Structure 1
Amino acid sequence: MKGSCLCGEVQYEVDTLSSPIMHCSCKTCRKAHSAAFNTCAAVKPEDFRWLKGEDKLSQFESSPGKLRKFCSVCGSQLISTKEGMPVHVLRVASLDDDPQQTPAFRIWKSDEVSWLGYEHDMPQYEEWHPNR
């Protein structure tokens, strides 16, 4: 699957997702994405490649050891990495190709905004998924 930022200066390729797709409503994701939640999935580093524009990437340490990587031209967030974690966290909405799956659950329900209706049968967790 290929993906890119809004302006197209940064492009990447992912062989496969390493986790189900999830919605994260934690305060950090909401602020970083200016949205009610972030849709993400884990991807192993060996299944992820930058195709173009790696030199255009900037990063921000949003919490100790967690780096959010984004295009320095348009600001689109693409992945995050964290010290000691065996996977990257991919921003699924930056994919140009269909991942052939839908979100499986929501995390950080405790931080969800009150003004958005979450009407569905998707499993939800107050904070992290129990198998994290």
Structure 2
Amino acid sequence: MNSTRVYRGHCFCGAVELIVSGEPEVMGYCHCNDCRHWSAGPVNAFSLWQPEAVRITRGEDNIGTYRKTPQSLRKWCRTCGGHVLTEHPDLGLTDVYVAILPGLPFNPGVHVHYQETVLKIRDGLPKFRDVPEDIGGSGVSMAE
């Protein structure tokens, strides 16, 4: 019997659908200026997955891509503009926005780019100035 968890998500209008299977590598909050602007919010909730765990099941030809930096290929629906995911080639991970996965239990473990925050969150989770050292950051922690 296969017990792999499967979570379904879609863009705002539903033209693009995806599934993710298994469990994310990490979940948390990103406070960087780029993620805040992209999400139009004060903080962005992320879930990072192995690329093979993410599969577009509908509307792949309707996905637009924007690459502001080499680290992030942001994907959205060309019909409604709804955000779908961001590929991070240097990390070998894909960020599927938590907001589009209603069935995923969100268990954040970290805050990244906390030096750029505009919304202080006091939740006891580790807060990194940029990102953890093992994924190319300084690893410097910040106080709440």
Alpha-carbon distance between aligned partners in 2 of 1:119 and 1:86, rounded to the nearest angstrom: 30
Q: Report the 3-state secondary structure (helix = DSSP H, G, I; strand = E; otherwise coil) of the residue aligned with 2:61.
A: helix
Q: Does 1:20 align with 2:8?
A: no
Do 1:28 and 1:62's aligned partners in 2 also have CA atoms closer than 8 Å? no
Offset, 1:65: 4.9
Q: Which has the higher contact order (CA 8 A, sep 6+)?
A: 1
Contact 2:8 2:20 in 1 (8 A): yes
1: distance between equivalents of 2:29 and 2:75?
A: 18
Q: Which runs of 5+ in 1 are unaligned?
A: none
Per-residue CA distance 1:19-71 (angstroms, 9 max, x = gap)? 22110000110111111111112111211111111111101112125210011
Scaled by the length of structure 2, the TM-score of the pair is 0.82
Partner residue of 1:129 out of 126, 132, 135:
132
Percent identity, aligned pairs only? 24
Structure 2 CA distance for partners of 1:122 and 1:84, relative to 1, 3 Å = closer
Please give the secondary structure, in 2, of the residue aligned with 1:12: strand
CA distance in 2, matches of 1:5, 1:59: 14
Match of 2:54 in 1: 48
Relative to 1, partners in 2 of residues 1:32 and 1:101: Cα closer, same or farther, differing over 3 Å?
Answer: closer
- CA deviation digits over 1:89-127, x for unaligned, max 9? 111111131x234111101110001xx341221111111
> Secondary structure of the residue that 2:66 maps to in structure 1?
strand
Aligned residues: CA RMSD: 1.5
Please identify runs of 4+ aligned residues in structure 1 that moved more than 6 A: none
Tell me the number of residue pairs that the alignment of Structure 1 and Structure 2 aligns: 129
